[in-house]
Amino acid sequence: MRVVSLVPSLTEAVAVSAPGALVGATDWCTHPADLGVARVGGTKNPDVPRVLALAPDLVIANEEENRAPDLAALRDAGVEVLVTEVRTLPQAFAELRRVLAACGADDPGWLGEAEAVWRGLPAPAARLRAAVPIWRRPWMVVGRDTFAGDVLARLGVDNAYAEHAERYPRVGIGELCEGGLDLLVLPDEPYRFTADDGPEAFPASLPVALVSGRHLTWYGPSLLRAPAVLGAALRAASR
């Protein structure tokens, strides 16, 4: 198989599970760190001619991360495109199996181990209400029907915007500051929130959890450690 991945988390999953299958990936595909394949641009603006020049048997994509016109152009050129949809943790595991099977990989050990880790999580002792900004200028948050929201819910954190009409709504800073929140969750991607960029915009009385965006939003080998990594950050912020 010759596979081009347009999704960072799927790139990592295929690289780990089907060594040698990947021939191309986006500029944002940062894992594994030693990935040595051709780069084909961003997730939103892939270089379609460069993808075609790699003569892939399969291009793997995601309905949220990639644009329909780019995928249509690849299909029109005769390339098979597998598009995933991931909005819950169970969906992530199912789609990973579908992708890896299409890439000629057997069911990898890490995938079953990750499912067991999540399945074995104890019930949260208490639940917290949080907002999850993913961008600033303008401020945008995680809304309804998202993978990140489902992951946090399984860790005892309820998304304050889970019932919003939009999946990634723009929200005024005033509303965020006065939203009756127990916690603010700031991931380091897509916007790179840090201790010096993000928390200062909110009242000092509002606890802030700076979390790994890879462990919050990626569906791949990172799922194995995500409960421990995210849980530690959430506990530290809510003490």
Q: Are strands 3-5 and 58-62 parallel, antiparallel or unpaired?
A: parallel
Reply yes or no on whether the pLDDT at 239 is more than 90. Answer: no
Using CA atoms, how far residue 105 sits from 15, 58, 188, 210, in Å, is 10, 13, 31, 35
% of the chain exceeding 70 in pLDDT: 100
CA angle at 170 for the pair 168 and 171, rounded to the nearest 5°: 120
Q: Are strands 81-84 and 58-62 parallel, antiparallel or unpaired?
A: parallel
Reply yes or no on whether the pLDDT at 236 is more than 80. Answer: yes
Residue with tokens 């995680």: 142
- Mean pLDDT calculated for residue range 72-77: 98
What is the C-alpha separation between 202 and 210, in angstroms, rounded?
A: 13
pLDDT in tens, 172-223: 999 998 879 999 999 999 999 999 999 999 999 999 999 999 999 999 999 9
Q: Any idea where the domains of the chain sit in the sequence?
A: 3-107, 125-238
On whether the 125-238 domain is CATH 1.20.81.30, my answer is no
pLDDT in tens, 78-105: 999 999 999 999 999 999 999 999 999 9
On whether the 3-107 domain is CATH 2.40.340.10, my answer is no
Residue 83 phi, psi dihedral angles, 5° rounding? -110, 125
Q: Does 125-238 match 3-107 at the fold level?
A: yes
